[in-house]
Amino acid sequence: MSGDPGRSGPRPEDAPQGAPRIPGQRYPLENGEESLPQPPAPVPPDSVPPGSAPQSSVPPSAPLPSAPQPSASQDPPPLPHQMLKSLLGAWALAACSPRESLSVEEHLGHCGSCAEEALRLRQAVELLHPAESLDLDPALRRRVLGKAMEGRPARIPVPRWAEAYDAETARLDALLKDFGTAEWHAGVGLRWYRHDAQVRRKTTVGGVLGHLTAVDGVVARALGLPDPLGGDAAAEAGSAEGTPRERTEEFWRAAAAPMGRELRGPWRDQSHELVRTLAFAGRGSGLLPVSYGGCALPMRDALVDRAFACWVHAGDIAEAVHYPYAPPAPGHLHHMIDLAARLLPTALAARRRDGLGAAVPPRGPGSAGRALRMEVEGAGGGEWLIPLDPPPSGPGGAGPAAGTAASAQQVAGPQAPGQAPPGRQAAGGEAAAEAPPADEVAHIALDGIEFCRLAAGHLPPPEAAAGQHGDREAIREVLFAAAALSRM
């Protein structure tokens, strides 16, 4: 044993050593505490009984204190006014976080100045980003179908003179696709001119489709296809070779119930079959005669006539259901205008036979007679010389076929299929280069769409010509002859 004999009592180095002190947990200042918690006071050495180990300041079995957690139900502190005011621009642009948007909107409820500023900012944002309707553009379907038909080549080439009919029946079918019962039975007014007066007939959308089906049947009969009126029944009723109006009335009488959606399928099948048959028939099919009851047209003109009727009546349907409908493609529109121009000499002769036209002035031998220059403006337009006097041999036949053999001559503009260059084109595709020059006594200018509306009986003749020069009586005769081309 070693030690200092001069000292009594235990020495410091001989005292039992206590357990090491365990520091308390540190608390972050970010939790909102004003100061760190004070550690417990150390135990004085004198309070430790002799022979016992000093106790730790933290009981071993006691759980360590944990950091205080924010309460889930505790609301965040409100943002100051200046900060909320600075967020108004971002709020107007919908660029705030959900918490910021909620704070701003609550603040606007009781702060008038900020509410006025927020209203001005929102109005400014609306000017930068105008509101757009969620409704689809009504013309979207037409544009999509047009692009699809332009980019899709036909497996079997369709004759050029049948392309307009193929396109117009497809456009009408697209219009009818989504019609409900109310649209199918909507009232439609058919209009045409007879004896210089407009005639009207009320029907429905289904009735218009029945009219197109019945009149397209004359083309089907010429191609040897089934007649929608039925062969025997139509012959007994006198409608097999009847006029378009007679065939339509017979079709309407034969309908067992009000015509509606059920007509769309048979009409579309018939139009497909007509185009398919003409595609396989070859070039000679364009000269086949198509009888309209007392008059006839070659097949190539009859298909343009049916395309014109399909477009006009599709416009009637669209007007009845308040739906927009665009005009045909410029090339197809030109074929329709050209056909109407070539039929004008026949219409003039028919008016004179009915006592509606002015008397033809006498002309000397070798004279080509009078003519009117008709200028059609816009897409599909051109210029035509319309003969006002019959040929020296007489007025010619009574039907459009004879009229198309007259001398309506296109002198400018794009050419319809089978035509000669401008200045040499006689109606019906026959050359007229050797004919003496006609005496132009008048000149009229019309818009292409308005001329078609005139020929369809939808526009009064005095309102058609945009520009007139020359013989006023000759101009009136031509305008009323154009209206006389219309029929049911």
Q: What pLDDT, on the 0 to 100 scale, is given for residue 21?
A: 53
Give yes or no for residue 65 having a pLDDT over 90.
Answer: no
Beta bridge partners of 202: 189
Q: Residue 372 to residues 405, 445, 472: CA-CA distances in angstroms?
A: 18, 11, 11
Beta bridge partners of 370: 439
Q: How confident is the model at residue 395 (pLDDT cuts 50, 70, 90)?
A: very low
Q: Estimate to the nearest angstrom the gap between the alpha carbon of 459 and the chain centroid.
A: 25
Give per-residue pLDDT as tens, 299-331. Answer: 999 999 999 999 999 999 999 999 999 999 999
Q: What pLDDT, on the 0 to 100 scale, is given for residue 54?
A: 52
Q: How confident is the model at residue 412 (pLDDT cuts 50, 70, 90)?
A: low
Give yes or no for residue 154 having a pLDDT over 80.
Answer: no
- The three-state secondary structure class of 20 is coil
- Assess contact for 247 and 215: CB atoms under 8 A: yes
Give per-residue pLDDT as tens, 424-451. Answer: 344 433 434 445 567 889 999 999 999 9
Q: Residue 486 to residues 114, 310, 364, 464: CA-CA distances in angstroms?
A: 68, 13, 34, 15
Q: Residue 387 to residues 289, 307, 408, 410, 438: CA-CA distances in angstroms?
A: 24, 26, 6, 11, 8
Q: What pLDDT, on the 0 to 100 scale, is given for residue 435?
A: 53
Distance in angstroms (rounded) separating the CA atoms of residues 382 and 14: 128
Q: How confident is the model at residue 401 (pLDDT cuts 50, 70, 90)?
A: very low
Give the global pTM. 0.64
Amino acid, res. 251:
F
Give per-residue pLDDT as tens, 228-261. Answer: 988 654 444 444 568 899 999 999 998 877 888 9
Q: How confident is the model at residue 75 (pLDDT cuts 50, 70, 90)?
A: low
- Class of residue 348 by CB neighbours under 10 A (exposed 0-12, middle 13-18, buried 19+): buried
Q: What pLDDT, on the 0 to 100 scale, is given for residue 436?
A: 58
- Assess contact for 234 and 243: CB atoms under 8 A: no
- What's the 3-state SS for 119-174? HHHHHHHHHHCCCCCCCCCCCHHHHHHHHHHHHCCCCCCCCHHHHHHHHHHHHHHH
Distance in angstroms (rounded) separating the CA atoms of residues 349 and 346: 5
Q: What pLDDT, on the 0 to 100 scale, is given for residue 449?
A: 95
- The two tokens of residue 114 are 């900020």
Give yes or no for residue 409 having a pLDDT over 80.
Answer: no
